[in-house]
C-alpha cells in the first residue's frame, strides 16, 4: 500500500464554500493541495440518500422523533433541518462547546461542509457596506473596496451560476446573472405596490445560486438545470444549486493536484521560529486517533468562522503564546452575526383564480433602504428583507367532517387564502466584547480545548428590529394585507448561521489580524478567507463574498508562491 504523502505546496483547512474555492484556485495554479476535513467523505450523487424520497417514505413524514428532539434541542431549531437533511448536520453532543451567553452554533462536518445546506442567496455587497462602518464610527476601515472585489464576484458568479435580474440598485449591485425565477402573481403585486408607495425601495427577484439556464461552464462541471423541486438541502442529484461537492472540489480534482483527507481534525497550525512562517498543520485522525503532521508552504484556514478562531487560538508557540499572529490580543474578538429576529406576515384577498407554479427555490429580496448615503436612523447599519407569497390549503377543511374518501380528496384540492411573509437579515456592530475563547478546563474527545462563546445582542440590534417590524407592518398594509402580524422571536444569536469575525481584515497589525489579501499580518503564509476574516457584517448574505475573497486571495497566494515569496 502506498504511504500517505505528508508534504504539499498548500493545505486548505475545511472543504465548505470557501475551502472548496481555495482548493479550486490553488490546484488550477499548479499547487499540490491537501484539503483537510474533520468529518466524513461525501461524494456528489452517491451520498445523497434522501434526494428522491417521497414524504411517506420517512418514518414520521420528515419530522424527527420526540426522543431525537429532546436529545438535540440545538440542531432541531435550525432552518432546513428535518429527517431528510439530518445527515448533513452534526448532533448536539458530537462536538460540544461552552455558552457563556446563549449562542446556537450550527455545524456540518462532512466534505462539502455547510455548502450542502446553505440558503444559496447571493447578493453582492455595495460600496456602502465597505465604507459605512468606518464612516459612521461603528467599525474599523476595510482595507479593500467594492472595486477590489467586483471582478472576483464576477469570476465566482460565472462559475457557480447565479440567477437574478439586472435591477440597477445602488445598495445591491448587479452581477453576472442567469435568468431569474419569476415572481408569482402576489409577489408581482407586492413589488408593484412597494414601488408605488416607496420609490426608494426595491423588491426584486431572488439572486440565488441556482442553475435556471446552465451555461457551458456548468455543463463541464457535470451539473444540470435546477428542477425547481426546492429540496436542495438534501443534496441535489442534478447539481442544480452550487455546493463544493458538486462543483469546486471535482473541478480541482480534475487537475490532478488535489488530495482530500476526511476524518482529520485540525489541532493547530505549526509555526517555525526560524523562518517566521507556518510550517504545516497538526492533525488528529478521528478513526485511529493518530497524530499526523502535514507540511506545506501555504495554509488556507477555511474551517468556518468559529472553528477557524478555535484553530488559530490553539496554534500556540513561543513566538505566539496566545494564538497564531495574536500580538494585539484581538484574535477571537469582534465576533458578529446577522439579526434574524424580525418577522411579519399577513393575508391577501383576491387572486383566487391564480396559483403558484412549481416549487420556487428562491425568494424575492427587498434591498436595504436604511443608512445608505447618510445615517438617517437612530441606529447604524441596514437590513435585507427576504419575503414571498404563498397559497395555503383550504383552511375550512380542518373544521369539517370530511376526513376520508372522494369528498376529502376533492376538498384538499381546493386552495385557500394567499399569504405574504417578510423576515429580516440585519447588520450587527462588531464589538470587542463579543468574543470567543478557549476553555481552560474542558476539552473535546481529541484533547482540544472547547470553544467558549460570549456573544450577544445590543441596543442597536433592538432598534433595528423595531424599525423592521414597524416598516414591514406599514408596507404589508399598503400592499393590501389584512390580519397583519409582526413578531420579534428573540432567538439567540447563531441560528442565522452567519457567524463572522474574530480574525478580521484591516490596514495594520494594531487593530486587525489580516491584510488586504486575507494574509496574516504576522505570519505571511497563512490566509483566512471564511467568515472569520470579516471586518463588518453588511446586511447581504455573506457566502458569495467569502467565495470572492477566497478566489482573490488564492490567486495572490499562488502568484507569491511561484515568485518564491511564500
CA atoms within 13 A on the CB side of 484: 16
Q: Give phi and psi for 272, each to the nearest 5.
A: -95, 115
CA distances from 476 to 323, 344, 365, 462, 469 (A): 50, 8, 15, 21, 10
pLDDT attached to residue 402? 65
Q: Any idea of the CA torsion for 226, 228, 232, 238, to the nearest 10 degrees?
A: -30
Computed on alpha carbons and rounded to an integer, the radius of gyration of the chain in Å comes to 24
**Helices within 48-136 (DSSP H only):** 66-71, 127-135
In the block, residue with C-alpha cell 456548468: 218
CA atoms within 13 A on the CB side of 158: 9
CA distances from 61 to 55, 131, 183, 397 (A): 5, 48, 29, 20
pLDDT attached to residue 408? 74
Which among 262, 371, 266 is positioned nearest to 15, based on CA atoms? 262
pLDDT attached to residue 1? 39
Distance between CA 300 and CA 35 in Å, rounded? 9
| Beta-carbon contacts of residue 207 (< 8 Å; ≥ 6 apart) | 121, 122, 123, 162, 163, 164, 172, 175, 177, 180, 362, 365
Which among 223, 233, 299 is positioned nearest to 266, based on CA atoms? 299
Distance between CA 175 and CA 131 in Å, rounded? 20
Q: Do the beta carbons of residue 252 and residue 28 sit within 8 Å?
A: yes
Sheet holding 500-502, edge to edge: 98-99, 449-454, 435-443, 333-336, 500-502
| Beta-carbon contacts of residue 313 (< 8 Å; ≥ 6 apart) | 322, 323, 326, 331, 332, 436, 437, 438
Pairing of strands 203-204, 365-366: antiparallel
Q: Report the Cα–Cα distance between both ends of the chain, in Å, rounded.
A: 33
| DSSP assignments along 256-315, one per residue | T-EEEE-SEEEEEEEEETTTTEEEEEEEEETTT--EEEEEEEEEEE-S-HHHHHHHHHT-
Mean pLDDT for back-to-back runs of 10 residues, the chain (566 residues): 81 98 98 98 97 95 95 95 97 95 97 98 98 97 98 98 97 98 97 96 97 98 97 97 98 98 98 97 97 98 98 98 98 98 97 89 98 96 98 66 73 84 98 98 96 98 98 98 97 97 98 98 98 98 98 98 96
Q: Any idea of the CA torsion for 103, 261, 226, 415, to the nearest 10 degrees?
A: -40
Residue 113, number of CB atoms within 10 A of its CB: 31
Q: How far is CA 541 from the centre of its chain?
A: 7
Evaluated on CA atoms 349, 350, 354, 360, the torsion sign reads: negative
pLDDT attached to residue 53? 97
pLDDT attached to residue 130? 98
Which pTM does this prediction carry? 0.96
Evaluated on CA atoms 52, 54, 57, 59, the torsion sign reads: positive
Q: How far is CA 138 from the centre of its chain?
A: 23
Residue 274, number of CB atoms within 10 A of its CB: 6
Which among 145, 154, 125 is positioned nearest to 516, based on CA atoms? 145
Amino acid at each position: 500500500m502506498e504511504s500517505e504523502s505528508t508534504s504539499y505546496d498548500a493545505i486548505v483547512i475545511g472543504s465548505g464554500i470557501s475551502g472548496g474555492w481555495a482548493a479550486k484556485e490553488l490546484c488550477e495554479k499548479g499547487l499540490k493541495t491537501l484539503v483537510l476535513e474533520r468529518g466524513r467523505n461525501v461524494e456528489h450523487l452517491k451520498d445523497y440518500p434522501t434526494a428522491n424520497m417521497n414524504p411517506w417514505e420517512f418514518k414520521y413524514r420528515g419530522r424527527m422523533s420526540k426522543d431525537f428532539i429532546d436529545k438535540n434541542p440545538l440542531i432541531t431549531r435550525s432552518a432546513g433541518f428535518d429527517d431528510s437533511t439530518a445527515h448533513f448536520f452534526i448532533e448536539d453532543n458530537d462536538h460540544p462547546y461552552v455558552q457563556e451567553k446563549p449562542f446556537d452554533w450550527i455545524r456540518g462536518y462532512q466534505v462539502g461542509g455547510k455548502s450542502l445546506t446553505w440558503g444559496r442567496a447571493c447578493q453582492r455587497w455595495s460600496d456602502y457596506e465597505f465604507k459605512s462602518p468606518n464612516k459612521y464610527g461603528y467599525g474599523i476601515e476595510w482595507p479593500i473596496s467594492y472595486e477590489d472585489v467586483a471582478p472576483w464576484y464576477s469570476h465566482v458568479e460565472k462559475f457557480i451560476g447565479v440567477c437574478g435580474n439586472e435591477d440597477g440598485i445602488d445598495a445591491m449591485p448587479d452581477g453576472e446573472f442567469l435568468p431569474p425565477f419569476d415572481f408569482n402573481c402576489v409577489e408581482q403585486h407586492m413589488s408593484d405596490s412597494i414601488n408605488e408607495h416607496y420609490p426608494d425601495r426595491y423588491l426584486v427577484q431572488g439572486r440565488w445560486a441556482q442553475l435556471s439556464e446552465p451555461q457551458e461552464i456548468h455543463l463541464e462541471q457535470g451539473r444540470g438545470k435546477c428542477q425547481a423541486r426546492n429540496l436542495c438541502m438534501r443534496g441535489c442529484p442534478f447539481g442544480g444549486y452550487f455546493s463544493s461537492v458538486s462543483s469546486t472540489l471535482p473541478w480541482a480534482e480534475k487537475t490532478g493536484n488535489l488530495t482530500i483527507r476526511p476524518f482529520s481534525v485540525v489541532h493547530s497550525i505549526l509555526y517555525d521560529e526560524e523562518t517566521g512562517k507556518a510550517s504545516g498543520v497538526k492533525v488528529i485522525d478521528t478513526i485511529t486517533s493518530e497524530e499526523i503532521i502535514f507540511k506545506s508552504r501555504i495554509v488556507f484556514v477555511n474551517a468556518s468562522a468559529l472553528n477557524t478562531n478555535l484553530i488559530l487560538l490553539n496554534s500556540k508557540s513561543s513566538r505566539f503564546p496566545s494564538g497564531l499572529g495574536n500580538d494585539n490580543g484581538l484574535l477571537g474578538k469582534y465576533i458578529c452575526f446577522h439579526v434574524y429576529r424580525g418577522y411579519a406576515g399577513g393575508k391577501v384577498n383576491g387572486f383566487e383564480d391564480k396559483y403558484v407554479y412549481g416549487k420556487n427555490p428562491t425568494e424575492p429580496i427587498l434591498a436595504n433602504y436604511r443608512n445608505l448615503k447618510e445615517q438617517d436612523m437612530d441606529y447604524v447599519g441596514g437590513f435585507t428583507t427576504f419575503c414571498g407569497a404563498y397559497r395555503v390549503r383550504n383552511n375550512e377543511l380542518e373544521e369539517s367532517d370530511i376526513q376520508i374518501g372522494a369528498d376529502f380528496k376533492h376538498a384538499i384540492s381546493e386552495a385557500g387564502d394567499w399569504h405574504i411573509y417578510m423576515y429580516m437579515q440585519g447588520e450587527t456592530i462588531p464589538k470587542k466584547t463579543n468574543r470567543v475563547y478557549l476553555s481552560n478546563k474542558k476539552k473535546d474527545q481529541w484533547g482540544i480545548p472547547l470553544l467558549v462563546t460570549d456573544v450577544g445582542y445590543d441596543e442597536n440590534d433592538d432598534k433595528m428590529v423595531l424599525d423592521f417590524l414597524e416598516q414591514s407592518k406599514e408596507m404589508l398594509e399598503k400592499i393590501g394585507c389584512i390580519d397583519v402580524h409582526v413578531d420579534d422571536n428573540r432567538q439567540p444569536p447563531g441560528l442565522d448561521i452567519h457567524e463572522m469575525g474574530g480574525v478580521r481584515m484591516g490596514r495594520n497589525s494594531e487593530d486587525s489580524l489580516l491584510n488586504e489579501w486575507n494574509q496574516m499580518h504576522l505570519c505571511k503564509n497563512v490566509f483566512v478567507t471564511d467568515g472569520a476574516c470579516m471586518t463588518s457584517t453588511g446586511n447581504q448574505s455573506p457566502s458569495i463574498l467569502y467565495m470572492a475573497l477566497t478566489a482573490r486571495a488564492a490567486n495572490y497566494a499562488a502568484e507569491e508562491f511561484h515568485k518564491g515569496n511564500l
